[in-house]
Amino acid sequence: MQNLNLIAGSWCPADSGGTFPVLDPADDGLVAEVPECGIAETRRAIEAAHAAHPPFLARPAAERVDMLRRLSALMDDRVDELASILTSEQGKPLAEARGEIAYARSYLDGAAWEAERMAMVEELDPERTGKAILVRRAAVGATAAITPWNFPIAMLTKKVGPAFAMGCTMVLKPAEHTPLSALAFGELCIEAGVPDGVMNIVTGSPEVIGEELMGNPLIRKVSFTGSTEVGRILVRGASRNLPRLALELGGHAPFIVLEDADVELAVAGAMSCKFRNAGQACISANRFLVHEAVHDRFVERLVEAAGRLVVGRGTDDGVDIGPVIDDASMAKIDRHVRDALDRGARCELGGGHVHIDGLTDRFHEPTVLTGCTPEMLCFREETFGPVCPVMAFSEIEEAIRIANDSPFGLAGYLWTSDRDAAIRLAPRLEVGVVGINDPSPVTTYTPFGGMKQSGWGREGGRAGLEEYVPLQTISIGPTN
């Protein structure tokens, strides 16, 4: 397993020789030590990315597309190894880790596919403009990526795919909990023939590395996935050099089940979009708003299905829910559950920790709470845990009002048998992505991003690529 940093095509330790530990969230066992890099190493990585950009952009676009496809194929060849690294540092069940790697590959393949079809230069109609005007897409240059721990490899390829496809280079700072998946990806980059300096990876203090990435004028774009709180810090940092900024921040997804919904389908959807990754996803359903006519049946079926989930170590066979990432995450889940119960919610399933011999206290029972209200913490902030807070409603207007009563707006879900009504309702949800009877509305082909405080910019699809290639207009007057 790689435990050095990748700068300008070489694997290197921190200048100080310092390291920090990566621990398995299931048992706090030491997985690896990685370099504690600082300003000097980050600066070298930025300079390498800056220097590598012109020659990389000068290569034929088809070469970069082939390179992405080679990288994707290598990930497929190494899926077991990558999944085992991912589970050891992140905790998710191995089957989910494999699923994340397939999903991560789709962002490399999808970017390659889009890049092959994207028109990079357009000529405006001279009859209308009175002169020749070209509008072209200009690669921004060296970029920075700051990625989270919940999907350490998918959130990385979501940025790498479009960047490489568009001829941009990158300095990546992975999350401190999960740097090993990123370093393993760095090894594959070398194997796939990614030129030196095109992909650089630095690990260490987020504040120190983040400060240099935001403050260095050679970085022309920063793409971040993480909390709204850190997003604000980055916006402040960006005020100096004004890099382009893409921010994919927190969500608080409403999951609305209408009176005419197929309850079995809605429960199956709730299971996948709530309990995947132990509820630690920015598009996880966070607030279940269920019409009173189907409420009791929905809850009964949800309790049955969630009650069958197996909580345990991600490497054990048959496990559905692994540990949450750290003690602070567990404390937040506890706070949300306690607050809901104190304010009158009923616990229909779970509600507590699962104690497993020899493992940490980060395993939470799948939990279903009913009688929830908009004042409760679980209805105000992202829980990031395997907890379903349910509230009954009688009028759809009330459900829409509650759904939109949040500063966040990333994903939202509607469950109904009336497709046309759902299509009329969906635009009223103040979110970037709506799933109608669809618990997984995010694919490599779909523009994904938030409204309100869930962020700026889009990743995925053509929109994701366009973020790396702002428009340049060339207006041509007469030569004589």
Most distant pair of Cα atoms in the chain: their distance: 84
Residue 176's identity, in one-letter code, is E
The C-alpha atoms of residue 414 and residue 255 are separated, in whole angstroms, by 6
Minimum CB distance to ligand ADP smaller for 146 or for 267: 146
Which two structure tokens, joined as six digits, stand for 144? 């920075």
Residue 148 binds ligand ADP, judged by CB under 6 A: yes
Residue 211's identity, in one-letter code, is E
Residue 38 binds ligand ADP, judged by CB under 6 A: no
Using CB under 6 A, pick the residue from 68, 71, 175, 182 that binds ligand ADP. Answer: 175
Stretch of 2-10, 173-181, 183-191, 358-366 lying at the interface with ligand ADP (CB under 6 A):
173-181
Pairing outcome for strands 408-409 and 451-452: antiparallel
Q: Do the Cβ atoms of 105 and 161 come closer than 8 Å?
A: no
Residue 306 binds ligand ADP, judged by CB under 6 A: no
The C-alpha atoms of residue 196 and residue 52 are separated, in whole angstroms, by 7
Minimum CB distance to ligand ADP smaller for 248 or for 430: 248
Residue 230 binds ligand ADP, judged by CB under 6 A: yes
CB of 225 to ligand ADP, least distance (A): 7
Query: Using CB under 6 A as the criterion, what x/- string covers residues 97-136 for binding ligand ADP?
Result: ----------------------------------------
Q: Do the Cβ atoms of 268 and 396 come closer than 8 Å?
A: no
Minimum CB distance to ligand ADP smaller for 146 or for 184: 146
Using CB under 6 A, pick the residue from 3, 84, 227, 315 that binds ligand ADP. Answer: 227
Of 292, 282, 291, 288, nearest in space to 302 by CA: 288
Residue 233 binds ligand ADP, judged by CB under 6 A: yes
Active-site choice (47, 212, 248, 382): 248
Task: Kindly state the DSSP code that residue 309 receives in the 8-state scheme.
Answer: P
The C-alpha atoms of residue 152 and residue 101 are separated, in whole angstroms, by 10
CB of 37 to ligand ADP, least distance (A): 13
Minimum CB distance to ligand ADP smaller for 180 or for 305: 180
- Angle (nearest 5°) at CA 388 between 148 and 300: 150
**b/e per residue 134-158 (b: at least 16 CB within 10 A):** eeebebbbbbbbbbbbbbbbbbbbb
CB of 38 to ligand ADP, least distance (A): 13
Q: Known catalytic residue: 89?
A: no
Minimum CB distance to ligand ADP smaller for 227 or for 437: 227
CB of 173 to ligand ADP, least distance (A): 6
The C-alpha atoms of residue 194 and residue 105 are separated, in whole angstroms, by 16
Q: Which residue is nearest to ligand ADP (CB)?
A: 210
Q: Known catalytic residue: 12?
A: no
Question: Coil, strand, or helix at residue 408?
Answer: strand
Q: Do the Cβ atoms of 145 and 159 come closer than 8 Å?
A: yes
Which two structure tokens, joined as six digits, stand for 306? 């969630």
Helices (H), 289-390: 292-307, 327-342, 377-380
Query: Using CB under 6 A as the criterion, what x/- string covers residues 182-211 for binding ligand ADP?
Result: ------------------------xx--x-
Residue 215 binds ligand ADP, judged by CB under 6 A: no
**Known catalytic residues?**
248, 282
Q: Rule CB under 6 A: which residues touch ligand ADP?
A: 146-149, 173, 175-176, 206-207, 210, 226-227, 230, 233
